[in-house]
Amino acid sequence: MGLSIDGLISGQDTTTLINNLIAVEAIPQTLLKGKVTAAQSYTTAVQGLNTQVATLADAATKAAKPASYDLYKATSSSSQVTATTSAGAAPGVVDVTVGRLAQNQVTVTGPVSTWPDATLTLTNAAGKATVITPASDSLDDVVTAVNAAGLGITATKVAVGAGAFRVQFSSAAPGAANGFTVTGGTVPTTQVKAAQDAQVTLWAGTSAEQAITSSSNTFTNLLPGLDVTVSVVSTTPVTLTVARDDTAITTMASGLVTGLNNIFAVITNRSAVSTTTDSTGKPVTSAGVFAGDSTIRTVNQNLITAASMPVNGHSPSEIGISITKSGTLEFDQGKFAAALAKDPAGTMKTVQEIAGRVATAAAAASDKYDGTLTATITSQESQVKTMGLEITDWDLRLTAKRSSLERTYTAMESRLGELKSQSSWLTSQIASLLPAYTGGSSS
């Protein structure tokens, strides 16, 4: 804390004087702080751009792989039979009829109030028998023992009136393989619903008719990469079709163009030079953080070149990807759809080539180890760190300077105080000598 020496003897505002001297002394530090703020703003802007470019690199890398265009969609002529595609799908069409749905087995006992036997035996569809021994003749103990056996069979006590109950046994999963029998006791049982597989028939009514079964209502890989789920029995043929998903392929191509244009927009906005007026009406020109930046300009040019250069002698504009006068890209969905319909392999190959070039350019800029944008960020962060250390040194230097000035002015005030005391003493001495010189008397 500084000393309070304002106006002690001299009457001067010493604190303000020292502050002004320190402010002059601190001009280099103030300029340095301004450079740090500017560098931090620039670094933040480059980091944001780098993130966008890295995201584009990932998307373009994916779009450059031939497997990314193995995109198919499945359609069904009936809402009661749904079709979806999975890996390995290929074009195809097939008609099916639905003969039956998969179901769980349900078996119930006759009405009982207690279990009359010491045990019961559950035998699965494979012929494996398991003897169940309840803790007592209580139906609750029977239910507990069956459910604890882990046989994939669920027991439930169902009230049927007049104090009587039936025990219901249900297979946990559908399908003929999950069927079972309940034996070994005197309690009568009735199978309410049999365990059964779902069944569809291909080419029904022809000599090639083929029945296919599934333990669930879903048939996996009915065609390569085609999964079908049935919900209603029907003898009316349902047509299932697997075709190339042109919509998904178009979305991939347009997404690549959109990702590029988003980056171009950021670079353009942050490179813009604008003119405003200050409070006095004087024009003030300000430039974006990327204005005149050769690194950013190179990244922009490399990306636009990668996207717009010919592929095997053909311009990307032939499939609807063209460069505009403003330096952005345009995606013509209608033109792309026409090209895809006319030459699907060639069109997809062109998009793959463009995506591969964009991925290379984007990775060169954003690679986390040696990308040009990454290097710029690292350099700026290093400079900010160095300037931060210099600012800290200035803080120490200015603190020492302030202390020195305060000591100087304190000493000056002390010396002025001493001189004032001497002046007062001399004045009093001179005053006492005056009568002797003037002939006066001291009494």
pLDDT tens figures, 334-387: 999 999 999 999 999 999 999 999 999 999 999 999 999 999 999 988 888 888
Q: Based on the domain organization, do 267 and 331 belong to the same domain?
A: yes
Q: Based on the domain organization, do 34 and 156 belong to the same domain?
A: no
Q: Based on the domain organization, do 87 and 211 belong to the same domain?
A: yes
Task: Kindly report the number of other CB atoms within 10 A of residue 157's CB atom.
Answer: 14
Return the structure tokens found at 312: 């095997």
Q: Based on the domain organization, do 120 and 188 belong to the same domain?
A: yes
Q: Based on the domain organization, do 237 and 322 belong to the same domain?
A: no
**Structural domain of 214:** 72-100+198-244
State whether residue 415 is helix, strand or coil.
Answer: helix
* Structural domain contains residue 381: no
What's 265's DSSP letter? H
The pTM for the full model equals 0.69
* Structural domain contains residue 429: no
* Structural domain contains residue 424: no
State whether residue 163 is helix, strand or coil.
Answer: coil
Q: Based on the domain organization, do 360 and 264 belong to the same domain?
A: yes
When mean pLDDT is compared across 252-261, 274-283, 326-335, 428-437, the lowest value belongs to 428-437
Q: Which of 339, 359, 374 is the last residue of a domain?
A: 374
Q: Tens digit of pLDDT for each residue in 157-167?
A: 999 998 899 99
What is the arithmetic mean of pLDDT over 44-72? 93
Residue 5: its pLDDT value, please?
Answer: 52
Residue 439: its pLDDT value, please?
Answer: 60
Higher per-residue pLDDT: 11 or 164: 164
* Structural domain contains residue 43: yes
Percentages helix, strand, coil for the chain, rounded to the nearest 5?
50, 25, 25
Q: Based on the domain organization, do 304 and 166 belong to the same domain?
A: no
Look at residue 180 and tell me whether its pLDDT is greater than 60.
yes
> What is the Cα gyration radius of the chain?
45
Of residues 124, 120, 153, 152, the one with CA closest to residue 139: 120
C-alpha dist (Å) from residue 418 to 7, 14, 143, 330, 422: 15, 18, 109, 86, 6
Total domains present in the chain: 3
Q: Based on the domain organization, do 319 and 237 belong to the same domain?
A: no
Q: Based on the domain organization, do 324 and 236 belong to the same domain?
A: no
Q: Based on the domain organization, do 94 and 186 belong to the same domain?
A: no
Q: Which of 156, 172, 193 is the last residue of a domain?
A: 193
C-alpha dist (Å) from residue 195 to 81, 105, 106, 216, 388: 22, 4, 8, 11, 77
Residue 443: its pLDDT value, please?
Answer: 45
Look at residue 1 and tell me whether its pLDDT is greater than 80.
no
How many Å apart are CA 110 and CA 158, to the nearest integer?
11
Read off the pLDDT band of 246 (50, 70, 90).
Answer: very high
Q: Based on the domain organization, do 130 and 48 belong to the same domain?
A: no
Return the biggest CA–CA distance within the chain: 160
- Burial track 75-108 (b if 16+ CB lie within 10 A, e otherwise): ebebeebbbebeeebeebebbbbbbebbbbbbbb
Higher per-residue pLDDT: 10 or 34: 34
Read off the pLDDT band of 2 (50, 70, 90).
Answer: very low
Q: Based on the domain organization, do 174 and 203 belong to the same domain?
A: no
* Structural domain contains residue 24: no
